[in-house]
């Protein structure tokens, strides 16, 4: 999106965006991770910057370059992502588009795990990662005015998204169907539904760049309404 100087709808606003996967080490050569290209989150960070916001993008490992005009913080684990998001507060808006690994191996071995003939595969014990969206959505002192989460689902889209909205203290959930047949995962298009406490808005299928521009426009409108 392009805005002329006077009309940049997010000037003076601070926005923090998470994007990409997190990766959780098992040993020095192996990790547990989610599938995420980072395309949608990076597009949102770029669109917010184009709209004049001061943007911090906290990203797990992706093959995309850092968006222009954005401060990008590179992290690997969910715990690092949470720390980087907290360090970016206070902010007016948080958009959590990252595919955070729900669990991490309970221990990271410093030596490479080896196959031991006759003893079979090792058991992997997992522990739950912190929920970044819920931590920010329920933050006691530094909660951004607008907290936006994502819900990528393969079934019961609205019920699952509404559950996440209330459980995590988010204002909006951007819900999308990521069933393999949709091609959303890794692809360039996205069909989203915006879930709020007062209802659901269906958006047409758009490029991830256009979803980002429309989301940023909706964010700017919500902030200016709240100010009025
Ligand atoms: N999220 C997060 N930190 C986590 C897990 C999720 O910030 N540890 C955020 C995601 O970035 C997204 C939203 O929460 O904005 C929903 O993520 P999702 O994985 O769909 O929700 P979960 O609560 O992990 O539920 P489940 O994976 O069981 O569907
Ligand atoms: Ca999850």
Ligand 1 atom 18: residue of nearest CA: 151
How many Å apart are CA 204 and CA 128, to the nearest integer? 35
Q: Which atom of ligand 1 lies nearest, measured to the CA of 173?
A: 15
The secondary structure of 163-184 as a DSSP string is HHHHHHT-SEEEEEE--GGG--
190 is a catalytic site residue: no
Ligand 1 atom 12: residue of nearest CA: 150
pLDDT at 204: 93
User: Is the bond into 111 cis (omega within 30 degrees of 0)?
Assistant: no
Q: Which residues surround ligand 2, an ion (CB under 5 A)?
A: 102
pLDDT at position 6 over 80: no
Cα of 151 vs centre of ligand 1, distance in Å, is 7
**End-to-end Cα, the chain, rounded Å:** 24
Query: Is 8 annotated as a binding-site member?
Result: no
Pocket test for ligand 1, best of 77, 100, 138, 215 (most atoms within 8 A of CB): 100
Ligand sitting nearest the alpha carbon of 173: 1
Q: What are the pLDDT digits (tens) for 143-174?
A: 999 999 999 999 999 999 999 999 999 999 99
Cα of 110 vs centre of ligand 1, distance in Å, is 29
Query: Is 168 annotated as a binding-site member?
Result: yes
What predicted TM-score, i.e. pTM, was given to this entire model?
0.95
Q: What rounded mean pLDDT belongs to the chain?
A: 94
- Ligand 1 pocket: which residues have CB below 6 Å? 18, 78, 96, 98, 100, 102, 129, 131-133, 149-152, 164
Ligand 1 atom 27: residue of nearest CA: 102
Query: Is 27 annotated as a binding-site member?
Result: no
Ligand 1 atom 14: residue of nearest CA: 133
**Residue 3's pLDDT band (boundaries 50, 70, 90)?**
low
Q: Please, which residues have CB within 8 angstroms of residue 122's CB and are 6 or more apart in sequence?
A: 113
Q: What are the pLDDT digits (tens) for 67-123?
A: 999 999 999 999 999 999 999 999 999 999 999 999 999 988 889 999 988 888 989
């Amino acid at each position: 999106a392009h805005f002329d100087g006077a009309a940049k709808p997010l000037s003076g606003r601070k926005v923090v965006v998470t994007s990409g996967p997190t990766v959780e080490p098992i040993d020095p050569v192996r990790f547990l991770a989610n599938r995420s290209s980072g395309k949608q989150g990076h597009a949102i960070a770029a669109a917010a910057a184009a709209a004049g916001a001061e943007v911090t993008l906290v990203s797990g490992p992706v093959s995309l370059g850092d968006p222009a005009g954005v401060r990008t913080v590179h992290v690997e684990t969910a715990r690092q992502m949470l720390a980087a998001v907290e360090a970016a507060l206070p902010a007016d808006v948080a958009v959590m588009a990252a595919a955070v690994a729900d669990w991490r191996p309970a221990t990271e071995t410093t030596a490479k795990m080896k196959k031991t003939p006759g003893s079979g595969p090792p058991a992997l014990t997992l522990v739950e990662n912190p929920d970044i969206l819920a931590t920010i959505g329920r933050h006691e002192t530094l909660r951004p005015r607008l907290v936006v989460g994502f819900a990528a689902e393969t079934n019961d889209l609205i019920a699952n998204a509404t559950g996440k909205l209330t459980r995590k203290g988010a204002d909006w959930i951007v819900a999308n169907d990521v069933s393999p047949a949709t091609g959303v995962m890794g692809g360039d298009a996205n069909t989203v539904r915006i879930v709020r406490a007062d209802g659901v808005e269906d958006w047409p299928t758009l490029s991830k760049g256009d979803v980002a521009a429309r989301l940023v426009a909706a964010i700017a409108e919500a902030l200016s309404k709240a100010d009025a």
